[in-house]
Structure 1
Amino acid sequence: MKNYKKIGVVILAAGSSSRLGYPKQLVEFKGKPMLQHIIDVADSFEFETKVLLVGANSEEIKSTIEPKNFEILFNKNWQEGMASSIRAGLERSLEKEKDLEYLLILLSDQPFLSRERIEALIKEQLATNSEATFSEYDGEVGVPAIFSSSVFPYLKELKGDHGAKKLVYDKKIQFRTVKFEKGNFDVDTKEDVELLKKLEKE
């Protein structure tokens, strides 16, 4: 997919993985850390800006992954929660490209993210010109998601551990959805890691 629109991408990887006890960003899936998989998929696109947010365990993460064309940004407020990383990522993206038209937000622990899933989100967003396009899994909407610049002011207002889907309920923004099978699978516990290892062999 050619970069004929100004799209920025932000990967959120600043969390502490407190329930797991070690950085879930570095849990291996199919021979590489999950975060590396997300970087590799996203870097295959010619996005206008590419920003990776780190926070907890930042040195270990930086020494393990290959950022490729991503700028690594340390979120000093990572303990506030996901909203602080979204705000920091958006702010840095706009510093790099003030005329950014869209922002794609990805998480570091969705091992089944693929290039096809991202392409589907972008195509839906550009075709419908809605305020946002979210992934849909198990009847829920969430990230990966892409937001138009009209929503940027709302993203800047997010607080605490609320992700971008909070806008759906608070701001009643107009959005579309794209199905993402296994999109609800993330890694928070040791049981999740064990299940991931089993799924890896399927």
Structure 2
Amino acid sequence: MAAPPPRVAGLVLAAGAGRRYGGPKALAELDGTLFVDRATTVLAAAGCHPVLAVLGAAAEEVLARARLTGVTPVHNPDWPTGMGSSLRAGFAALPTDVDAVVVLPVDLPGITAEAVRRVLAHASPAALAAATFHGRRGHPVLFGRAHWAGAAASATGDAGARAYLAAHPPLPIPCEDVAEGSDVDTRNPLG
């Protein structure tokens, strides 16, 4: 009898204040859809379950305006310290029966479900994989359960898991043909 497929959660990091952007990126819109809804929908459409969204800055407004259908909100009281605290809060909130998690920052509206599925295809408790765009590592990033403690311990400031990924290079998954991997730092997304 074949082993069941790994259970993979989706985790959107959406707690930042978006100082350079001029407001929380969770509340930014593209084509009438909030970035936070866009990111959670992409993860769910790719097969991630459950999907969690780490919120912080303007969390009450995000909860009031966003659909977040089927999404578990996770409050990060330490959001002003940077993305590292959101990653730690997200890892801590994952159910114990999840084998891996796909992490996606909220400010990447060009990521598609197909890109997430490519990364998700490598899921296992020991997996570590990341989308690449023209040879450069990007998001989403897949962390098997075996990597959660180490990535959380090294996650600081706005660098997130960068130090951990430098020490433990993830399997590169080319995605430039199905997604656009640039983060949005201005109010003119994808343009």
Q: Is this a same-fold pair by TM over 0.5?
A: yes
Partner of 2:110: 112
Amino acid at match of 1:65: A
RMSD over aligned Cα, in angstroms? Answer: 2.1
Question: What is the CA distance between 1:174 and its match in structure 2?
Answer: 4.7
Deviations 1:52-72 (A, max 9, x none): 101011122111110111111
CA distance in structure 2 between the partners assigned to 1:152 and 1:183 by the alignment: 26
CA distance in structure 2 between the partners assigned to 1:33 and 1:167 by the alignment: 30
Matched, 1:173 2:168: yes
TM-score (norm: length of structure 2) = 0.86
The answer to whether the Cα contact below 8 Å between 1:141 and 1:165 also exists between their aligned partners in 2 is no
Alignment of 1:25-104 (within 5 A): 25-93=26-94, 97-104=95-102
Alignment partner for residue 141 of structure 2, among 145, 150, 154? 145
Runs of 4+ in structure 1 off by over 4 angstroms are: none
Question: What is the CA distance between 1:103 and its match in structure 2?
Answer: 1.2
Question: What is the CA distance between 1:30 and its match in structure 2?
Answer: 2.0
CA distance in structure 1 between the partners assigned to 2:15 and 2:189 by the alignment: 23
TM-score (norm: length of structure 1) = 0.82
Partner of 1:135: 131
Question: What is the CA distance between 1:195 and its match in structure 2?
Answer: 5.2
Unaligned runs of 5+ in 1: none
Deviations 1:39-94 (A, max 9, x none): 2222224434321101011122111110111111110000111111111101110x
The answer to whether the Cα contact below 8 Å between 1:142 and 1:165 also exists between their aligned partners in 2 is no
Amino acid at match of 2:64: S
Amino acid at match of 2:99: E
Amino acid at match of 1:194: N
CA 1:70–1:32: 2 relative to 1, 3 Å: same
- Count matched residues: 185
CA distance in structure 2 between the partners assigned to 1:163 and 1:180 by the alignment: 21
SS of equivalent to 2:104 = strand
Matched, 1:185 2:179: no
CA distance in structure 1 between the partners assigned to 2:129 and 2:43 by the alignment: 17
The answer to whether the Cα contact below 8 Å between 1:130 and 1:174 also exists between their aligned partners in 2 is no
Q: Percent identity?
A: 24
CA 1:40–1:84: 2 relative to 1, 3 Å: same
Alignment partner for residue 161 of structure 2, among 142, 154, 164? 164
